[in-house]
């Protein structure tokens, strides 16, 4: 988009809403292309590209007008150069489509005068690798075609030969198909010319108030003197309530987009909330009154004794599910008084029972904005689509603070090549 003002460039595949990209944006990388098949996520990427365009121009007023609802999305998109929006390629990556995607990326590179790609980032959809996904699928997702999307990732490596790549996924990738998938991934990535290593990391170590374990595979071209980066651990003096307490109280099904308190030190230090931010998406789903009664029991147990509610411990008049063998922790309170919340998953789009707000006076599930903050998305990050689609995008994303820590370490290694 602004090739002359950036030091390194990247391509993001299987982009989702752009959580991983956000970290690289913040480390002054130039996005050559984002490739994402989901329509709502692709619109989110375009909107975020507009944000960075206006930020680079030194005036975000027009973007904030969009967040306030003063202008339409078409008007927002019409105010930026076409090449900004073209960096988002809304397409599935498959055997049938990859050549056309390459053509579009080649065209962008030629137009921007870019000769080489520095970094490829992204990770195939993780549902086929995740332990939760395998447990809930009748076949354990053995035949899920998403198991083989790493082949498409390797095609991008073989075509553009970036200096490095960052491949993010769930720990279950290592054990999918009894470890066969991981063995094949290693073989394929090495075959196209890369040395690779992986680490199991936790987003909390990057300053995110969430316990989220992920596999980060880093690869580098075999002809380059590179290595796996060192990720410095960030010490946090904050609790989860520090990202909730400046937001207005909501009833189930409510929405209120005005801040009610000054931001916490954590929100300021991480950039999650800034001085001129416009609050959006502080909306929550409606729930049955019987579920709200269950929420109150779960909240009281957690806040008083740090005890989790088991479904079978509920009074019989509050038990409506036939399954009393598995998923007994289906009602779970967010750990407001602790340093990190439990893992934010896309399942929040189906119901909010696993993400109950810790305030018993509200007795509701998390709002879209609260979920985004737990993932460390800044308040100026706007998610396109209906509420359900927004929750999916948030739950599937790489936390931007974690992505920034990864990007900073990648920059150090790339800088070392030029010394």
Token representation of residue 402:
């974690």
Q: Are 250 and 284 in contact (CB under 8 A)?
A: yes
Cβ neighbors of 144 (< 8 A, separation 6 or more) are 127, 128, 137
Report the alpha-carbon distance of residue 220 to residue 269 in Å, rounded.
Answer: 32
CB atoms within 10 A of CB 371: 26
Report the alpha-carbon distance of residue 162 to residue 52 in Å, rounded.
Answer: 24
Active site residue 50: no
Report the alpha-carbon distance of residue 11 to residue 45 in Å, rounded.
Answer: 13
Catalytic residue, from 27, 50, 126, 340: name it. Answer: 126
CA-only gyration radius of the chain, Å: 22
Q: Are 212 and 171 in contact (CB under 8 A)?
A: no
* CA dist list (Å): 213 to 261, 270, 311, 368: 32, 20, 26, 22
Sign of CA dihedral 258, 263, 268, 270: negative
Q: Are 221 and 161 in contact (CB under 8 A)?
A: yes
**Which DSSP string do the residues of 109-124 spell out, in sequence order?**
HHHHT----SEEEE--
| Active-site annotation, residues | 126
């Amino acid at each position: 988009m602004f090739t002359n003002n950036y030091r390194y460039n990247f391509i993001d595949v299987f982009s989702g809403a752009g959580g991983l990209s956000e970290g690289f944006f913040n480390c002054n990388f130039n996005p050559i292309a984002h490739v994402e098949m989901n329509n709502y996520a692709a619109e989110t990427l375009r909107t975020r590209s507009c944000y960075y365009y206006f930020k680079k121009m030194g005036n975000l007023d027009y973007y904030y007008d969009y967040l306030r609802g003063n202008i339409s999305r078409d008007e927002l998109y019409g105010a930026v150069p076409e090449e900004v929006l073209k960096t988002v390629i809304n397409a599935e990556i498959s055997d049938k489509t990859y050549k056309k995607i390459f053509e579009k990326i080649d065209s962008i590179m030629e137009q921007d005068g870019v000769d080489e790609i520095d970094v490829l980032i992204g990770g195939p959809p993780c549902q086929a690798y995740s332990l939760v996904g395998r447990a809930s699928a009748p076949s354990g997702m053995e035949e899920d075609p998403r198991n083989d999307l790493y082949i498409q990732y390797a095609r991008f490596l073989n075509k553009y030969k970036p200096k490095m790549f960052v491949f993010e996924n769930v720990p279950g990738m290592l054990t999918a198909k009894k470890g066969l998938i991981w063995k094949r991934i290693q073989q394929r990535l090495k075959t196209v010319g890369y040395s690779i290593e992986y680490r199991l990391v936790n987003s909390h170590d990057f300053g995110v108030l969430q316990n989220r374990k992920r596999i980060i595979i880093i690869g580098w071209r075999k002809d380059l003197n590179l290595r796996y980066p060192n990720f410095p651990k960030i010490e946090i003096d904050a609790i989860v309530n520090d990202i909730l307490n400046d937001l207005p109280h909501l009833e189930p099904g409510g929405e209120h987009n005005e801040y009610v308190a000054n931001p916490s030190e954590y929100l300021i230090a991480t950039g999650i909330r800034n001085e001129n931010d416009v609050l959006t998406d502080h909306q929550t789903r409606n729930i049955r009154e019987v579920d709200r009664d269950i929420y109150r029991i779960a909240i009281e147990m957690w806040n008083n004794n740090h005890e989790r509610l088991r479904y079978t411990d509920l009074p019989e008049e509050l038990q409506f599910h036939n399954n009393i063998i598995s998923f007994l922790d289906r009602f779970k309170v967010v750990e407001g008084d602790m340093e990190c919340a439990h893992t934010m998953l896309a399942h929040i789009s189906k119901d909010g029972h696993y993400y109950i707000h810790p305030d018993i006076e509200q007795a509701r599930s998390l709002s879209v904005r609260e979920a985004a903050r737990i993932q460390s998305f800044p308040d100026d990050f706007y998610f396109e689509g209906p509420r359900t689609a927004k929750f999916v995008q948030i739950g599937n994303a790489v936390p931007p603070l974690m992505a920034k820590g990864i990007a900073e370490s990648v920059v150090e290694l790339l800088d070392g090549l030029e010394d």
